[in-house]
Structure 1
Amino acid sequence: MKTSTLLRTAILCMPFIFAACSKTEQAETSKTEIQQEDTTQAAETAPAQAFDISKIPLSTATLGDFPYISLPDGYIYQNTEQRNFERVPFWTGQQLEWVEGKLFSSGITSKPEYKEGNYLEIQRNLESVIKDLGGVEIANSQIPKDIIEKIPKDFQVQYYAGLGDIFNYPTKTYVVRQEDKTAWFQLTQSGNYISLMVAESKPLNVTAKALTSSALKQSLDQDNKVSVQINFATDKAEILPDSQDQIEQIVALLKDNPDLKLGIYGHTDNTGDAAHNLKLSDQRAQSVVSALTKAGIESNRLTAKGFGDTQPVANNSNEDGKAKNRRVELVKL
């Protein structure tokens, strides 16, 4: 079954879709309006550059409790999914930006007794709330089919209510950037209702301490391998500054043991696409090797390799297990 068929089937199964079918004409009018806005915007805008979150101005608004939005009278959430930690794709207008953090995914429709409800009214309400929070619109266009195909099928099915009909309608994305967190909002039409995805990402709160060179040596002598706490930027191979202490301890280990050769192996949890995870884990292992060689370790003593999500050490069905599976291992060669 193709991705588009899978998602459309899930969307059509939603109970509130049947209630919305009587308002098809209103939905088509709304869709036409959005498409006209997109055409005008495309004609007036120069080719967009790659998304850079650092260019989003900081907001000082009080966000309140996640997911930060209270619905206006006459509307309700349906088919809601919430996660304390998930890897979520957001459309930036040129590409998918993968965000790790809290997730709220839901469809929004009018209550049966609220006959006046429609997509455009709830859209305008949500946009007003998001802008009051300091939200900046970064995308307002339809996601290309080849980009949609990069969203894993299991994610599309599980969060279909929040993704909406991304195959046939434009998607709007907003970002609220604050000192201690970033909030992402994505709105997509589906017939006469609206889909909403909200994610909150925060700077990583590292509680694990770097293993000393002697502790690393002891584990390698005993088990021939040891897992270390090295943190990376979300969905990237960039080593975060808080991992510098651990890098320095690995450097000390190798300098104190000149005959020691190590495999630097990257691992991920099973969130997202397996092929992407495999590539990312390899890139992260290469980044660690690069950091070590820059510190004076000979490259012929190090071998980098990524295994993606193929070698879990814990259950991926819960967040504790996923955290343990996201790791870098040092293996004695």
Structure 2
Amino acid sequence: MKKLAISLFSLLLLSGCKEKKESAEEVPSTVETNVRDVVEENRDPVNTEENTKSFNIENLPVSDKDLGDFPFFSFPEGLTSTNKPVQKKIDMLYFPIDGVMTPLEGKVWKTYVSVKDNSEEWSLHYFIKSYEDAISKVGGVKIFDGEITYEEYERYHDDAEYLGEDGSIGYMGQKIKVYAIHRADGGNIFIQFCGDSAAGNLNVLQQEPFKQTISIIKSDKILKDLEEKGKVVLYVNFDLDKATLQPNGKQAVDEIAKALKDNNQLKIDIQGYTDNSGSDEHNQKLSENRASTVLNTLTSLGIDKSRLSSKGFGSQNPVADNSTEEGRAKNRRVELIKK
């Protein structure tokens, strides 16, 4: 009888433990995630796991608010730019999107923010709260709130040549908030900011495609320079940080093909160059891939491959100042060398 009582007690104890374990598993743990801080009425619940894997600004509501002129947001009362803001009509800036430092291209504005009057105390909460409220009121949506990992910083920071400029964001340890404003005209706006006990950092980027101001050289000019000078410098447009030809880049290669067809004895070496926005290894590979793209496109247009060769030289031998966008645009070039 005593053994039976002990057995029953043990069975009840095990059953109770099992119920507790199952109950504990039913309660989800609280985990900080970099999901979009979007609250909309009458909307189905958001799948946060899916959303954090692939951000797409087209999924955000469109803001039609009148934002005024770039950079759109004034300083909160009592705060100002520490130094002259960095402003570029076109540049590349990295934003942590889904935890990955992602390059975006467009109009850029960056600055350090501090108190106007040194007699006033700096409040990080006031700085953050002011911009979060202002951006949210015009339709901005938070898409990241956190720090980048050591591994992510090591992966990208060599490519972010601007790090060190006033207001730069993207270092380890910075608690970064990123907002996106989806605009109907395609000029989407990304704002990121962070701060510490002394000052804040603020970046604004409005997306817009790079407008090439260098015209396409026609086939007769290409042929003349190759025959008389043995060399011609061309500006062939590729997608940002890729070896994919843009439409006007394809037009430039079409002109090369016409020149080679006009002189079917001509053989050329295609040499690719980049600007210095990136590591040497990255730029070398990119320049090689872009030169190969030109070669492969020419063969697809009927040029015999035996007449062509290609090389990449990365950011070597710049022809202009890499500290300006105009200079970097000139350094991103393709040179044709007569063989």
Map 1:267-286 onto structure 2 (within 5 A).
Answer: 267-286=273-292
Q: Partner residue of 2:173?
A: 168
**Quick one: which of 136, 157, 165 aligns to 2:164?**
157
The corresponding residue for 1:28 is none
Specify whether residues 264 and 197 from structure 1 end up closer, same or farther in structure 2 by C-alpha distance, changes over 3 A only: same
Asked whether the 8 Å contact 2:162–2:168 carries over to 1, the reply is no
- Using a 3 Å threshold, how does the CA distance of structure 1 residues 332 and 88 change in structure 2: closer, same or farther? same
The alignment status of 1:109 with 2:114, answered yes or no, reads yes
Alignment partners' CA distance in 2, 1:89 and 1:290: 31
| Structure 2 match to 1:49 | 53
In the TM superposition, residue 192 of structure 1 has moved relative to its aligned partner by 5.4
Q: What one-letter code is carried by the residue in structure 1 that aligns with 2:81?
A: Y
Letter matched to residue 167 of structure 1: M
**CA shift in 2, pair 1:70/1:50, >3 Å:** same
Write the mapping of 1:137-286 to structure 2, written as runs, cut at 5 A. Answer: 137-149=142-154, 150-152=156-158, 155-159=162-166, 161-163=167-169, 166-178=171-183, 179=185, 181-191=187-197, 193-286=199-292
Deviation at 1:49, TM superposition (A): 2.5
Unaligned runs of 5+ in 2: 1-29, 37-46
Q: Which amino acid aligns with 1:64?
A: G
* Residue aligned with 2:244, SS: coil
1:91 is matched with: 96
- Secondary structure (helix, strand or coil) at the match of 2:172 reads coil
Picking from 64, 68, 90, the partner of 2:68 is: 64
Distance 1:263 1:55 in 2: 45
Contact kept, 8 Å, 2:291 with 2:312, in 1: the verdict is yes
Q: TM-score, normalised by structure 1?
A: 0.76
Deviation at 1:220, TM superposition (A): 0.7
Tell me: CA distance 1:307–1:193, structure 2 relative to 1, closer, same or farther (3 Å): same
Unpaired stretches in structure 1, ≥5 consecutive residues: 1-35
Range moving further from structure 2, 289-298 or 241-250: 289-298
How far apart are the structure 1 equivalents of 2:76 and 2:280? 40
User: Match of 2:334, SS?
Assistant: strand
Please say if residues 38 and 140 of structure 1, whose CA atoms lie closer than 8 Å, have aligned partners that are also in contact. no
Give the secondary structure class of the aligned counterpart of 1:158. coil
Q: Is 1:78 the equivalent of 2:78? A: no
Task: For residues 71-122 of structure 1, give each alpha carbon's deviation from its aligned partner in whole angstroms, at most 9, with x where no partner exists.
Answer: 121222214441424332221124222233433222223443444x522222
Q: Following the alignment from structure 1 to structure 2, what is the Cα–Cα distance between the partners of residues 40 and 321?
A: 37
Q: Which piece of structure 1 moves more, 82-91 or 215-224?
A: 82-91
Once residues 331 and 144 of structure 2 are traced to their aligned partners in structure 1, the CA distance between those partners, rounded to angstroms, is: 33
Match of 2:310 among 304, 309, 333: 304
CA contact (8 A) 1:93 1:143 kept: no
Instruction: Specify the code of the residue in structure 1 equivalent to 2:269.
Output: G
Go from structure 1 to structure 2 and tell me whether the alpha carbon gap of 1:306 and 1:132 turns closer, same or farther (over 3 Å shift): farther
**Contact in 2 for aligned 1:80/1:105 (Cα 8 Å):** no
Superposed CA deviations along residues 164-200 of structure 1, whole A, max 9, x for unmatched, are 7x32243222233442533321122323543111223
Give the drift of 1:279: 2.3
Contact 2:284–2:314 under 8 Å retained in 1:
yes
Q: Describe the shift of the 1:155–1:206 C-alpha distance in structure 2 as closer, same or farther (beyond 3 A).
A: closer
By percentage of residues, which structure has more helix?
Answer: 1
Distance 1:227 1:134, change over 3 A: farther
Q: Is the 8 A contact 1:87 1:272 kept in 2?
A: no
The 4+ residue runs of structure 1 with deviation greater than 6 A are none
* CA gap 1:207/1:172 in 2 versus in 1, 3 angstroms: same
CA distance in structure 1 between the partners assigned to 2:54 and 2:311 by the alignment: 29
CA distance in 2, matches of 1:321, 1:206: 12
Please report how far the alpha carbon of residue 257 of structure 1 lies from its aligned counterpart in structure 2 after TM superposition.
Answer: 2.6
User: In 2 relative to 1, CA 204–40 (structure 1 residues): closer, same or farther, beyond 3 Å?
Assistant: closer
User: Does the CA-based 8 Å contact 1:180-1:203 persist in structure 2?
Assistant: no
Displacement of 1:219 after TM fit? 0.8
| Aligned-partner residue type, residue 162 of structure 2 | F
Please name the residue that 1:136 is paired with: 141
CA contact (8 A) 1:130 1:174 kept: yes
Aligned length: 294
1:58 Cα deviation (Å)?
4.8
Instruction: Tell me if 1:122 matches 2:127.
Output: yes
Q: Could you tell me which amino acid in structure 2 is paired with residue 250 of structure 1?
A: I
Q: CA deviation at 1:154?
A: 5.7
Return the structure number with greater relative CO, CA threshold 8 A, min gap 6.
1
Q: Which amino acid aligns with 1:311?
A: N
Q: Secondary structure at the match of 2:318?
A: coil
Provide the TM-score with structure 2 as the length reference. Answer: 0.75
Q: Distance in 1 between matches of 2:61 and 2:229?
A: 49
Maintained 8 Å contact 2:237/2:249: yes
Q: Partner letter of residue 203 of structure 2? A: M
